[in-house]
DNA sequence: GCCAACGTTGGC
DNA sequence: GCCAACGTTGGC
């Protein structure tokens, strides 16, 4: 299973750069203690760039960010995939190497399970690598399509492991900045259920807009609405409960 | 370490 | 197809 496919087109662009001999070393690592990178050819002080500090700030204010998660507790996430084909430079970037992108595609896979590979954004990668755990529940979001929205539920069935697609020069997700010593990561997810109705992004936005005060909606801090571009994002317990009610067709919402 | 330029995301 | 938002790059 893949993430938002545009990120892979970006990866393709990076491959082209690499072939031209101008690929750059990996940027600052947000979690230096966990991922050791023997060669740091770029002089960036780890964790101190503006972006790193922004990320740190976000993680600190983020309800799912606790690293001392009590055993047995469950975290919630939202992951974006693109269910529709998209043509980039004459090539359909959706269907390749049997990778597909809608919740129906996940349901059709062997064991209804698939690696969520191809994530290249650092913050999204770090969430998968450091925070997603077996048993966590994941909202499956359909992105960049006619009807963007939350399509169903899946669960994490394998903790993070290195993203081998990043090492494979022939793979669409090949990433010249990744190798065995500085890998990208992913988790495996398993289909749980498809919602009877897509929960449209427009509906969530409408709900937020119509709530009596800025503070009264359980969606007020939802990353999907506030941080649109993050492809793997945390969902709070409150947000999750609300989405679950919506998914079961609660007419009072 | 700053920040402008650039490239991508993703809703519309 | 447009374009605002924002993440990444790379010169300084």
- Determine the Cα–Cα distance for residues A111 and A158; give it in Å rounded to an integer: 13
Q: Which domain holds residue A232?
A: 5-21+75-247
Report, as an integer, the average pLDDT of A228-242: 94
Query: Tell me, in Å, how far CA of A229 is from C1' of C6?
Result: 8
More confident residue, A42 or A233: A233
- Token pair, residue A234, equals 């945390």
Identify whether the C-beta of residue A181 lies closer than 8 Å to the C-beta of residue A199: no
Which bases in strand C are touched by protein, i.e. have an atom under 7 Å from a CB? 5-10
Q: Give chain A's domain count.
A: 1
Question: Is A136 inside a domain boundary?
Answer: yes
DSSP letter assigned to residue A93: S
- Determine the Cα–Cα distance for residues A219 and A239; give it in Å rounded to an integer: 6
* CA separation, residue A224 to residues A16, A67, A229, A245, A251 (Å): 31, 22, 8, 17, 22
Q: Which of A124, A196, A203, A116 is nearest to A163 (CA)?
A: A116
Task: Give the CA dihedral A33, A34, A38, A40, nearest 10 degrees.
Answer: -70
- Determine the Cα–Cα distance for residues A54 and A230; give it in Å rounded to an integer: 13
Task: Using pLDDT thresholds of 50, 70 and 90, give the confidence band for residue A35.
Answer: very low
Question: Is A58 inside a domain boundary?
Answer: no
pLDDT at A48 over 70: no
Question: Is A65 inside a domain boundary?
Answer: no
Task: Using pLDDT thresholds of 50, 70 and 90, give the confidence band for residue A185.
Answer: confident
Question: Is A253 inside a domain boundary?
Answer: no
Question: Is A28 inside a domain boundary?
Answer: no
Helix axes A122-130, A50-60, angle to 10 degrees: 40
Output the pLDDT for position A41.
Answer: 30
Nucleotide nearest to A229 (CA to C1'): B9
Q: Are strands A137-142 and A76-81 parallel, antiparallel or unpaired?
A: parallel
Question: Is A252 inside a domain boundary?
Answer: no
Q: Which of A22-36, A101-115, A185-199 has the lowest mean pLDDT?
A: A22-36
Task: Using pLDDT thresholds of 50, 70 and 90, give the confidence band for residue A249.
Answer: confident
Query: Tell me, in Å, how far CA of A146 is from C1' of B12?
Result: 10
Question: Is A33 inside a domain boundary?
Answer: no
Question: Is A29 inside a domain boundary?
Answer: no
Nucleotide nearest to A25 (CA to C1'): C9
Query: Tell me, in Å, how far CA of A17 is from C1' of B7?
Result: 13
Q: Which of A5, A17, A169 is nearest to A96 (CA)?
A: A5
More confident residue, A236 or A209: A236
Query: Which CATH number goes with the domain that contains A166?
Result: 3.10.590.10
């Amino acid at each position: 299973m893949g993430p938002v496919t545009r990120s892979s087109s970006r990866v393709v662009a990076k491959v082209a750069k690499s072939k031209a001999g101008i690929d750059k070393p990996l940027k600052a690592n947000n979690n230096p203690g966990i991922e050791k990178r023997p060669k740091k050819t770029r002089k960036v002080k780890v964790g101190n760039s503006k972006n790193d500090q922004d990320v740190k700030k976000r993680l600190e204010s983020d309800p799912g960010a606790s690293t001392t998660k009590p055993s047995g507790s469950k975290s919630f996430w939202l992951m974006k995939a693109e269910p529709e084909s998209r043509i980039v430079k004459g090539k359909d970037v959706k269907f390749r190497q049997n990778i597909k992108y809608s919740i129906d595609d996940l349901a059709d896979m062997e064991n209804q399970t698939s690696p969520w590979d191809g994530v290249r954004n650092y913050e999204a990668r770090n969430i998968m690598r450091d925070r997603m755990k077996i048993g966590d529940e994941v909202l499956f979001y359909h992105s960049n399509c006619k009807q963007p929205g939350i399509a169903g539920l899946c669960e994490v069935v394998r903790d993070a492991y290195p993203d081998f697609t990043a090492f494979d020069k022939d793979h669409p997700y090949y990433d010249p900045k990744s190798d065995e010593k500085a890998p990208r990561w992913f988790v495996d997810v398993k289909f749980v259920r498809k919602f009877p109705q897509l929960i449209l992004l427009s509906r969530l936005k409408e709900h937020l807009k119509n709530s009596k005060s800025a503070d009264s909606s359980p969606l007020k801090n939802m990353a999907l609405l506030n941080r649109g571009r993050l492809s793997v994002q945390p969902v709070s317990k409150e947000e999750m409960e609300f989405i679950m009610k919506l998914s079961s067709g609660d007419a009072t919402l």
